[in-house]
Structure 1
Amino acid sequence: MRVFCIFITAIIFIAGPLQAQVQKNSFSIIGYYSGDAKSVDAYPVEKLTHLIYSFCHLRGNKMVVDTYKDTLRLQHLVTLKQRNPSLKIILSIGGWGGCAPCSAVFNKAEGREEFAASVKALNSYFKTDGIDLDWEYPSIEGYPGHQYLPADKHNFTLLLQALRKSLGKTPEISFAAGGFTSFLQSSVEWNTIAPLVNKVNLMSYDLTNGYSTTSGHHTPLYSTPQLKESADNAVQYLDSIGFPLNKLVIGAATYGRIFEIFNNANNGLYQPCKFQRGLSFKSINLDSLQKDGYTYYWDDIAKAPYLYNASKKLLLTYDNGKSIALKTQYAIYKKLNGIMFWELAEDKTTNGLLDMMYTTAHPAN
């Protein structure tokens, strides 16, 4: 009976998006970008609605662009609007390891207000379109050694209020949200912040990560009996507490994770493991990997691909064109705001995952 239900659900959600075409720019396709100024020119930025510059930094209470090189990079990203006039360039702050002072700064009214004023000033100077907060994480442990306090949860709300007051109605405010249960339940006052933000970018990747000791998919669409965390699990939770789905953006990954597996069973899935390294999607060559001993598998419950090398005991978990198409269809069917990914510089410049997102959302274009 369970298999039958899964099959019917899959038919419903796949058929729905094919009938519900989306208008260009009504469905967000958002890429983070931390590459250099010129490499971005090779990518099909016409297929993006948003490009998020990663990252600005905190200096004192202010958001700053650290170096002259970063200034030139950001200025070049803004010129991409000549190719795509509707493209929004968003400033981002934080990232994994990039938000050490966030708790201390944002826990003070003076810090929040000075920060919000600096965001407005930078957007005005660079002619950018808003702010994306990537604080990993309010109120729960994130990067080792970074301060986190119970008060962070409410102070994050106060920070968003200060930003909206400073920026006004037009500039966009978004934040990168952990796609896992402890963040969803403990880091954000969801119903209070809903009117303040345009988007929530769910990081439904790294769900099996560099600290994991049991292997699994790092960016699954659906939960499995062995791995609760997934994009759908996050969406279902937020829907259950009344957060507006039209502000949710699910996440995809243009990189894979390779794990050393200690118990050579179940094709490497859900086994004791140790993270080895990341691998960009543009470097994943299926033919070469198969010649090297990897076997391709598809998990039809998680809707996720993976590769396993039994002789070397190495598992590669990643997104591919098939999983990206299903995630995009899911976002359309659920009437979410869109899909986002980390990051553009790790995708292929042609026939990449961004191309699949766009053609799935706009099959007639």
Structure 2
Amino acid sequence: MKQINLIALLLLCSFTTTIFAQKGKKFDIIAYYTGDDKLINEYEVNKLDQIIFSFCHLKDGKLSVDSPKDSITIKHLVSLKAKNPQLKIILSLGGWGGCEPCSAAFSTAEGRLTFAKSVKEVSNYFKVDGLDLDWEYPAIEGLPGHLYQAADKPNFTELIKILRSTLGKKYELSFAAGGFQKYLDESIDWKAVTPLVNRINIMSYDLVNGYSKVTGHHTPLYSTNPKEESTDRAVTYLLKQGVPADKLVIGGAFYTRTWKNVANINNGLYQAGEHIAGVDFKNFATTYTEANGWKYFWDDKAKAAYWYNEKEKTFATGDDLTSIKAKTEYVKSKKLGGIMFWELPLDSFRDGMVNGIYEVRSK
């Protein structure tokens, strides 16, 4: 009788432990990284779960690390895992201008297999944990002049299938997804692709981009009108498509989009302007000051920050500590898989955006 009670107690303890482990499971903090093997050491790597090395490219249809410098960086990133057992190192293919040959290369079964085999070879050599596909974009226009075709959508599905079968179940497979409606509607077969990937990294930034002649929030959490793109709009759409919440990762922007020649109406928001270079988060404190003519504004409906300089007629939009913390709270409330951001070298070494995310997650 005592033995039965002991077994029952052990089972109860095991069951309770499992429940607590599930409840205590933290979502992932994921950093895209374009820096070298030295810069990474300045950051608090212990607060990250993934570092996505950006970028690798296609060379003769194969995954290619561009230079000896990049090889050194990847090897160093992998070495960080010794002190950070939670850390995974992922290689990213592409980027905004880095996937020009993708549509053609992935248009045949032979081309997709060649790529998948090369990913396995490169991954085994560097001992990395996974691949993030950053093809911008299948089936719709990305960088002007890059090939895109309707067949990209089914070809992307077939690419994911061959990658998964070639690389095995333990390999981390993700892709960077456009956070805007046209991509969500036309680029991906969500029902076919979702079961085969670990996560979908939603680029919920640049929703008003450098091609826009009108200002707006470029990385808002919520839409302020039915036509406005936002993080929540993309998440809601994908959840309705049947994508599990824990496979969705939302994006933060560690930089501003900026326009000049913006009229002093509505503090520059939703006004005509001419896009110019933005500012990295690490330089916000010295750039967006009253002494420099800037005023800070908070859109409570969008949960988004913006700045306006009346004297210079300049408008800026982006995430700040307040908005990135709101996004992190959103991840917790929706039980999403994590938050990623572009990109780590734009952050402060200490007490910056990563720390803001980490603090909210740790609550």
Give the alignment of 1:229-308 within 5 angstroms: 229-285=229-285, 289-308=289-308
| C-alpha separation in 2, matches of 1:110 and 1:228 | 41
| C-alpha separation in 1, matches of 2:274 and 2:257 | 11
Aligned to 1:317: 317
TM (norm. structure 2) is: 0.92
Aligned to 2:54: 54
2:175 is the counterpart of 1:200: no
Is the Cα contact below 8 Å between 1:204 and 1:230 reproduced in 2?
A: yes
Please provide the CA RMSD for this pair: 1.6
Gaps of 5+ in 1: 1-19
Give per-residue Cα distances to partners, 1:210-260, cap 9 Å, x unaligned: 001110011100001286100000011111222212100000011111111
| C-alpha separation in 1, matches of 2:39 and 2:177 | 27
| C-alpha separation in 1, matches of 2:207 and 2:81 | 34
Aligned to 2:191: 191
Aligned to 1:210: 210
Give the letter for the 2:284 counterpart.
I
Give the alignment of 1:94-243 within 5 angstroms: 94-225=94-225, 228-243=228-243
Q: Which moved more, 1:257-266 or 1:177-186?
A: 257-266
Give per-residue Cα distances to partners, 1:12-37, cap 9 Å, x unaligned: xxxxxxxx998776311100000111
* C-alpha distance 225-234 of structure 1, shift in aligned 2 (>3 A): same
* Structure with bigger gyration radius: 2
| Equivalenced residues, count | 344
Give per-residue Cα distances to partners, 1:268-297, cap 9 Å, x unaligned: 000011111121100111676221111010
TM (norm. structure 1) is: 0.91
Is the Cα contact below 8 Å between 1:21 and 1:362 reproduced in 2?
A: no
Is the Cα contact below 8 Å between 1:100 and 1:146 reproduced in 2?
A: yes
Larger relative contact order (Cα-Cα within 8 Å, sequence gap ≥ 6): 1
| C-alpha separation in 1, matches of 2:25 and 2:279 | 30
Is the Cα contact below 8 Å between 1:21 and 1:361 reproduced in 2?
A: no
Give per-residue Cα distances to partners, 1:128-176, cap 9 Å, x unaligned: 0010000000000000100000000000000000100110000100000
Aligned to 1:28: 28
Fraction of identical pairs, as percent: 52
Give the 4+ runs in structure 1 shifted more than 2 A.
Answer: 20-26, 261-264, 286-289
Is the Cα contact below 8 Å between 1:216 and 1:227 reproduced in 2?
A: no
Is the Cα contact below 8 Å between 2:288 and 2:307 reproduced in 1?
A: no
* C-alpha distance 288-187 of structure 1, shift in aligned 2 (>3 A): closer
* C-alpha distance 22-285 of structure 1, shift in aligned 2 (>3 A): farther
| C-alpha separation in 2, matches of 1:261 and 1:22 | 51
- Equivalent position SS for 1:279: coil
| C-alpha separation in 2, matches of 1:291 and 1:351 | 23
| C-alpha separation in 1, matches of 2:21 and 2:350 | 24
* C-alpha distance 114-223 of structure 1, shift in aligned 2 (>3 A): same
- Equivalent position SS for 1:131: strand
| C-alpha separation in 2, matches of 1:103 and 1:306 | 36
| C-alpha separation in 2, matches of 1:46 and 1:28 | 12
